[in-house]
Amino acid sequence: MQYVLTIFYEIIRNDGSSYSYILGILHDKDMYGYLMKLCTHSDTYIADKSSFLLSGSFCYNNNYFTEVQIKEFIIKIDFFNVSEEGKMDIYINILKIDNFRKDIYELEQFTSIIKKNLELSNNNANKQYKSVFCVWLLTFKDYFIKQLYKNNIIAIVINLFKKCRVEKILRVSLNIIKNIMHIDDCFEIIVDNNIIQTMTVLQYDKWRDNDIYDTIVQLLNKLDQRVKNYSNFERYCHELSNGKLKWSVLHTEKFWLENVMQFEKDEFKAIQQLADIIKLYAHNIIQKSETGESKEEIDAVTVAVACFDIGEFARLYPNGKKICQKFKIKENIMILIATKDRDIVREALLCAQKIMLNNWQSISNSK
């Protein structure tokens, strides 16, 4: 049995069009029923090869298999006696079929298996490659790109791309970047991880596959153009609209010196949003002290960053302190100073000083 399955496997792996030939020969046989039984065989090797052959055959359906059969196969994947790598082979085969991508993505084990094998700590390059390939097959639809972003898979792929030097993984990762860069959230990850710099270095490496060099050059041109059309202030507003801030180049003195006048747009809408973050956290502190519970948890880093940004606005914008008074920011900042989070307390204290003191710069320099 192992010998026969291996022969079929090697033939198909070398020439995918052989599926059509095999399906034609076996058109009067119950290939589906026979291979489905072998997918639960006690021998994992037999189960792996059988599930690979059957799932691969679905791509060359030619009306040989019904939609009901394919969906039944997908539902039973987690119950097959296949190895983890065998399961990934199944994912790749069926993800090539547009109508069934969602069925695969929603499998209970799919996300966890892909994420685990994309990690840098995983030293199995073959599994990393198959995981990246699965992600690439999903990035042809915006719906899946957004789901991959939400589940942190895009960030993990970008991190792998920065550190990995396995050509086949880099080649597929480059194609993933090409597919996702039009989505703002994904573009943020690309920019924050200095992928343009990474690619600039990679283009001077020697590659056996010349397509890698060509792809890098094309992508660098597209990314450079996108960066030119996507200002730091737009990036800031996009991050702020998501309601979650993180320390980055967008929250530094340099950024505020270059962009502070932009914050008067839409009647200081961005400052109002920052004030709302501070206000909500302050109200939560009061409510928790009175009732022992709060309505909504807010990320502590977001609050600390918001305090820093408000302080920089008050310090650098003409009449910035008066704008802060208009939004009643100081009162809520003072409440934050009483919280137990050290980072928030530090940033709240600095923010309060910047709002209240006219000679902040001289005080800052004397410390």
CATH code (residue 273): 1.25.40.150
Regarding whether 221 and 311 lie in a shared domain, the answer is no
> What pLDDT does 42 receive?
95
Tokens of 35: 């291979």
Tokens of 335: 């409440």
Regarding whether 204 and 151 lie in a shared domain, the answer is yes
Regarding whether 70 and 214 lie in a shared domain, the answer is yes
Q: Give me the DSSP letters along 303-349.
A: HHHHHHHHHHHHHHSTTHHHHHHHTTHHHHHHHHTTSS-HHHHHHHH
112-133: per-residue pLDDT in tens? 999 999 998 888 999 999 999 9
Regarding whether 155 and 114 lie in a shared domain, the answer is yes
Residue 339 lies in domain: 238-366
Regarding whether 305 and 183 lie in a shared domain, the answer is no
Regarding whether 244 and 168 lie in a shared domain, the answer is no
Span 99-103, mean pLDDT?
A: 96
Regarding whether 273 and 187 lie in a shared domain, the answer is no
Q: Give me the DSSP letters along 40-84.
A: T-SSHHHHHHHHHHHHHHHHT-TTSS-HHHHHHHHHHGGGS---H
Q: How many domains is the chain built from?
A: 2
Report whether 162 contacts 198 (CB < 8 A): yes
CATH code at 107? 1.25.10.10
Regarding whether 85 and 194 lie in a shared domain, the answer is yes
Residue of 77, 79, 91 lying closest to 136 (CA atoms): 91
Whole-model pTM: value is 0.74
Span 42-47, mean pLDDT?
A: 95
Span 47-68, mean pLDDT?
A: 87
331-362: per-residue pLDDT in tens? 999 999 988 899 999 999 999 999 988 644 54
Q: Of 230, 254, 279, which residue sits at a domain end?
A: 230
Q: Of 230, 247, 278, which residue sits at a domain end?
A: 230
Regarding whether 243 and 224 lie in a shared domain, the answer is no
With DSSP H G I counted as helix, E B as strand and the rest as coil, what are the percentages for the chain, rounded to 5?
Answer: 75, 0, 25
Regarding whether 31 and 103 lie in a shared domain, the answer is yes
Residue of 321, 295, 197, 305 lying closest to 246 (CA atoms): 305
CA distance 354 to 51: 65
Q: Of 169, 202, 230, which residue sits at a domain end?
A: 230
Regarding whether 97 and 22 lie in a shared domain, the answer is yes
Higher pLDDT, 298 or 163: 163
Regarding whether 312 and 200 lie in a shared domain, the answer is no
> What pLDDT does 366 receive?
45
CA distance 181 to 222: 9
